């Protein structure tokens, strides 16, 4: 079994790798208060987060990252820009396709998403490591991930940390690199930073809405003896602030017609940059203002005489902001229809938009409770992750997103089971005909998981075989067989029982770790008998370890 994870004697460095903005926080081993590392934006103003972008030069070497990269690139003239490559949207690319070989193409050049993220992470983390004089291999990294990310997504991020040189193993354990769900981290931030403001009491229920750059997700939590019980996680929707960017470009495509196709990639990037600064200005007010975007290449065009485009307040409200706000409103409303909450708490960078919060006032009555927007809600995830990394049992209870079980056999039911699953057992067997490929559930969907929760299944060594192989599956719905739609192979467990005798018993234990990661342990009933286990989680291998 995996031993105790030491969280108290190491400095925790938490990372919130965002679609648009990323944050980093340090919780020194001698302190109880996390410190968020600040970054200067394009105008020299100190910010809690940095832009998630990387600028490469003509030799495909990293020139700069974050605000520095954005400021430098968009200050270039068009003839200089052609020799540089500005990359953003890496997290969104992985969200859609969690493939470690995923590539992005910019100006005809392919870039590995893993390498781009590793380059970003290496320089981004250096700001904290340098400030606090830390060795990357002596700290405990805590990385947050969206609630709807799977093990495949997390495995890619593990490789990013390895490629960035922040961890020494490609598949490190939780004592080195821990993953936490973004909404859980945000909930812990509320518990730690807003407890006195909200006067949180046992039994009260809170709906935490994490509105970030890429996604909006919701977690329902309640206080239980000073800890949090996470009673539900929503499926995140792609209605973060970056969707506003896509909708604006789609609207400009309609507004300009054939002219839009004549715009270069540099023109599009210039539009995006101008929109970003004006969008932030609108976020700080409760009303819309006209958007003016300058595109020098349009001037003198036979179909367009001006070098700028104006999008009216009405157009912005109906074509860009309106649909995103409506999607968030419908999403939250679908949850409020089912339950009553004492507080509705908005966190994440998008929650700082006064425009969004004005639209969300409709929930004041629906929630039958108070709407709260913490002053520094944009750091809620990264700061909450630092707290939770130091003390993981702050989450006393969570729900499993999936069902987990093993492939097994049972007595064949003639006339009911498909004959393709029929297997005849040779010799003197109590059950000569068995049904194969049965999904034997151990953890159910939405099952409440406490820090003491686990499920055992007993196995008996009944042959001379030295290796017993057990296949573990996960399912997103109720299934009876492992080859049904919605059930996927999760891990191959091989147990070396060569030291055990016929009739000896061992137990396979499944439980959930942080970020709803599956943990596998094998325990012999006779403590004097040793077993060696190897767990292969789909595309990577972990020996005597958990996912």
CATH 3.30.420.40 maps onto the chain at 12-183, 195-373
Distance CA 308, CA 430 (A): 82
Yes or no: say if 490 and 475 are a contact pair by the CB < 8 Å rule. no
pLDDT tops 80 at residue 483: yes
Q: Are strands 343-347 and 370-372 parallel, antiparallel or unpaired?
A: parallel
pLDDT band with cut points at 50, 70 and 90 for residue 447: confident
Helices (DSSP H) in 3-89: which residue ranges? 66-75, 78-81
pLDDT of res. 31: 87
**Pick from 57-71, 355-369, 413-427: least confident:** 355-369
pLDDT tens digit sequence for 522-542: 888 888 887 788 777 654 333
pLDDT of res. 539: 45
pLDDT of res. 108: 87
pLDDT tops 80 at residue 366: no
pLDDT tops 80 at residue 318: yes
pLDDT tops 50 at residue 491: yes
**Pick from 110-119, 156-165, 195-204: least confident:** 195-204
Structure token digits, residue 38: 């600040």
pLDDT of res. 480: 95
CA dist list (Å): 3 to 98, 173, 177, 521? 30, 11, 15, 11
pLDDT tens digit sequence for 84-116: 999 998 988 888 788 889 999 988 899 999 999
pLDDT of res. 475: 93
Out of 2.20.25, 2.60.34, 2.40.50, 1.10.1760, the CATH code matching 400-543 is 2.60.34
Which of 407, 399, 410, 411 has the alpha carbon at shortest distance from 444? 399
Sequence-distant (≥ 6) Cβ neighbours of residue 346 within 8 angstroms: 209, 211, 357, 360, 371, 372, 373, 377
> Is 3.40.50.620 the CATH number for 12-183?
no
Strand (E) or helix (H) holding 520: strand 518-524
Structure token digits, residue 470: 């057990």
pLDDT band with cut points at 50, 70 and 90 for residue 363: low
Yes or no: say if 134 and 128 are a contact pair by the CB < 8 Å rule. yes
> Across residues 479-497, what is the average pLDDT?
92
Yes or no: say if 539 and 155 are a contact pair by the CB < 8 Å rule. yes
pTM strictly above 0.75: yes
Sequence-distant (≥ 6) Cβ neighbours of residue 380 within 8 angstroms: 185, 186, 189, 190, 193, 210, 347, 348, 374
pLDDT of res. 418: 93
pLDDT tens digit sequence for 327-338: 888 888 888 877
pLDDT band with cut points at 50, 70 and 90 for residue 543: very low
pLDDT tops 70 at residue 139: yes
Which of 56, 182, 176 has the alpha carbon at shortest distance from 115? 56
pLDDT tens digit sequence for 241-278: 888 888 988 988 888 888 788 777 777 777 877 787 67
Mean pLDDT of the chain: 83
Highest mean pLDDT among 48-57, 221-230, 311-320, 509-518: 48-57
382/222: higher pLDDT: 382
Q: What percent of the chain has pLDDT over 70?
A: 88
pLDDT tops 60 at residue 547: no
pLDDT tens digit sequence for 1-54: 333 344 456 899 999 998 889 999 999 988 889 999 999 988 788 999 999 999
Yes or no: say if 515 and 471 are a contact pair by the CB < 8 Å rule. no
pLDDT tens digit sequence for 276-296: 767 766 766 666 777 787 776
Q: At what angle do helices 242-256 and 265-283 cross, to 10 degrees?
A: 120
pLDDT tops 90 at residue 484: yes
CA dist list (Å): 504 to 438, 465, 467, 521? 24, 13, 14, 17
pLDDT of res. 494: 92
**Pick from 65-74, 113-122, 170-179: least confident:** 170-179
Yes or no: say if 414 and 435 are a contact pair by the CB < 8 Å rule. no
**Pick from 3-12, 403-412, 416-425, 530-539: least confident:** 3-12
> Across residues 360-377, what is the average pLDDT?
69
CATH H-level superfamily of 195-373: ATPase, nucleotide binding domain (3.30.420.40)
pLDDT tops 60 at residue 359: yes
CATH 2.60.34 maps onto the chain at 400-543
341/250: higher pLDDT: 250
């Amino acid at each position: 079994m995996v031993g105790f994870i030491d969280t108290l004697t190491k400095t925790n460095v938490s990372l919130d790798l965002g679609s648009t903005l990323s944050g980093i926080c340090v919780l020194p081993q001698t302190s109880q208060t996390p410190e968020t590392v600040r970054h200067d934006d394009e105008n020299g103003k100190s910010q809690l987060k940095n832009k998630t972008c990387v600028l490469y030069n003509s030799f495909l070497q990293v020139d700069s990252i974050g605000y520095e990269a954005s400021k430098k690139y968009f200050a270039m003239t068009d003839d200089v820009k052609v020799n540089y490559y500005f990359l953003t949207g890496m997290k969104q690319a992985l969200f859609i396709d969690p493939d470690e070989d995923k590539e992005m193409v910019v100006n005809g050049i392919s870039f590995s998403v893993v390498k781009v993220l590793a380059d970003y992470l290496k320089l981004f983390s250096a700001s904290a490591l340098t400030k606090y004089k830390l060795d990357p291999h002596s700290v405990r990294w805590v990385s947050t991930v969206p609630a709807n990310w799977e093990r495949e997504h997390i495995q890619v991020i593990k490789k990013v940390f390895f490629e960035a040189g922040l961890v020494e193993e490609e598949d490190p354990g939780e004592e080195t690199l821990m993953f936490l769900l973004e909404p859980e981290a945000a909930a812990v931030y509320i518990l730690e930073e807003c407890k006195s403001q909200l006067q949180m009491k046992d039994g009260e229920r809170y709906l935490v809405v994490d509105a970030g750059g890429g996604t909006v997700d919701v977690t329902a939590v309640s206080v239980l003896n000073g800890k949090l019980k996470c009673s539900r996680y929503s499926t995140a929707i792609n209605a973060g602030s970056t969707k506003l960017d896509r909708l604006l470009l789609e609207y400009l495509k309609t507004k300009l017609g054939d002219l839009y196709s004549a715009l270069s990639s540099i023109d599009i990037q210039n539009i995006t940059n101008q929109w970003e600064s004006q969008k932030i200005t609108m976020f700080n007010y409760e009303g819309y203002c006209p958007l003016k975007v300058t595109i020098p290449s349009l001037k003198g065009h036979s179909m367009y005489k001006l070098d700028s485009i104006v999008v009216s307040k009405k157009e912005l409200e109906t074509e860009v902001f309106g649909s995103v706000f409506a999607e968030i409103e419908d999403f939250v409303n679908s949850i409020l229809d089912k339950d009553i909450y004492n507080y509705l708490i908005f966190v994440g960078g998008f929650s700082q938009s006064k425009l969004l919060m004005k639209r969300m006032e409709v929930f004041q009555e629906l929630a039958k409770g108070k709407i709260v927007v913490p002053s520094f809600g944009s750091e809620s995830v990264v700061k909450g992750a630092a707290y939770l990394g130091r003390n993981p049992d702050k989450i006393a209870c969570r729900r499993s997103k999936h069902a987990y079980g093993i492939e097994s056999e049972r007595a064949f039911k003639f006339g009911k089971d498909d004959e393709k699953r029929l297997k005849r057992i040779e010799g003197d067997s109590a059950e000569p005909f068995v049904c194969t490929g049965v999904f034997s559930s151990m953890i159910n969907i939405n099952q409440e998981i406490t820090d003491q929760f686990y499920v055992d299944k007993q196995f008996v060594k009944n042959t001379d075989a030295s290796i017993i192989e057990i296949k573990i599956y996960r399912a997103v719905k109720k299934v009876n067989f492992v080859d049904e739609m919605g059930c996927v192979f999760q891990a191959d467990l091989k147990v070396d029982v060569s030291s055990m005798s016929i009739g000896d018993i061992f137990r396979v234990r499944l439980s959930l770790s942080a970020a709803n990661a599956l943990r596998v342990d094998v325990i012999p009933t006779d403590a004097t008998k040793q077993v060696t286990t190897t767990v292969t989680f789909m595309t990577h291998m972990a020996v005597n370890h958990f996912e």
